[in-house]
Amino acid sequence: MTYADFAPFDHNTAPTYTVDDLMALPSFLQCLNFCNQQLLSIHRQMPREVRYVADLRRWVMTHGALALHFSHKINPDLPPLTATNLFREVEHTGIASPNTVTSYLKEIHARGYITWRDRRTVC
């Protein structure tokens, strides 16, 4: 199976869970504790990088940027990582404006995590 065999993710049909649903899952609390410990360990090892997933806004933008970048790498017909495309990717969440997305990309560029391919595209 290849990437092309998968349909694009539909945010409107994603499963949702209530607190009661999650609490009813076997080993949920044990899994949550394990994840917390792993995240704390990563934070101690890489505090600079953790900044980009430390709050919901950055977490969503980071994952949106990664999704755009790798989707385009796998299939060049898909949109590349640009400020406009990243905003379209995260717009449904309501957590970031176009200016926030642009500032985020400029910040991660200044830290050396991305490079500009041309005036509009990031690689």
Across the range 80-102, mean pLDDT stands at 91
Helix, strand, coil percent values for the chain (each to nearest 5): 65, 0, 35
Mean of pLDDT over the chain:
84
Supply the pTM of this predicted model: 0.61
Predicted confidence (pLDDT) at residue 1 exceeds the cutoff of 70:
no
Q: What is the pLDDT at residue 108? A: 87
Q: How far apart are CA 107 and CA 24, in angstroms?
A: 41
Q: In the numeric block, which tokens belong to residue 116?
A: 């500009």
What would the pLDDT profile of 26-85 be if each residue is shown by its tens digit?
Answer: 899 999 899 889 888 888 888 877 777 778 888 899 989 999 999 999 998 999 999 999
Q: Residue 9's pLDDT band (boundaries 50, 70, 90)? A: low
CA angle 80, 49, 44 (to 5 degrees): 155
Q: What is the largest CA-CA distance in the chain?
A: 50
Predicted confidence (pLDDT) at residue 106 exceeds the cutoff of 60:
yes
Match 């200044």 to its residue by tokens.
110
In single-letter form, the type of residue at position 45 comes to Q
